[in-house]
A = this chain, B = another copy of it.
Amino acid sequence: MNKDFFTCSNCPMTRTMATIGSKWKPIIIYALGERTLRFGQILVRIEIISKKVLTDQLKELEEDGIINRIAYKEIPPRVEYHLTEKGLELLPILNLMTLWNAKYSEQE
Contacts and interface: CB of A to CB of B under 8 A. Distances in A.
A40 interface: no
Interface residues of A, number: 40
A58 to B, nearest CB: 16
B26 A23 contact: no
Interface of A: 5-8, 11-17, 19-23, 26-27, 30-31, 45-49, 65, 86, 89-90, 93-94, 96-98, 100-105
20 contacts: A6-B31, A6-B46, A6-B47, A8-B27, A8-B46, A8-B47, A11-B30, A12-B101, A12-B102, A13-B97, A15-B101, A16-B26, A17-B27, A21-B21, A21-B26, A65-B104, A86-B104, A89-B100, A93-B93, A93-B96
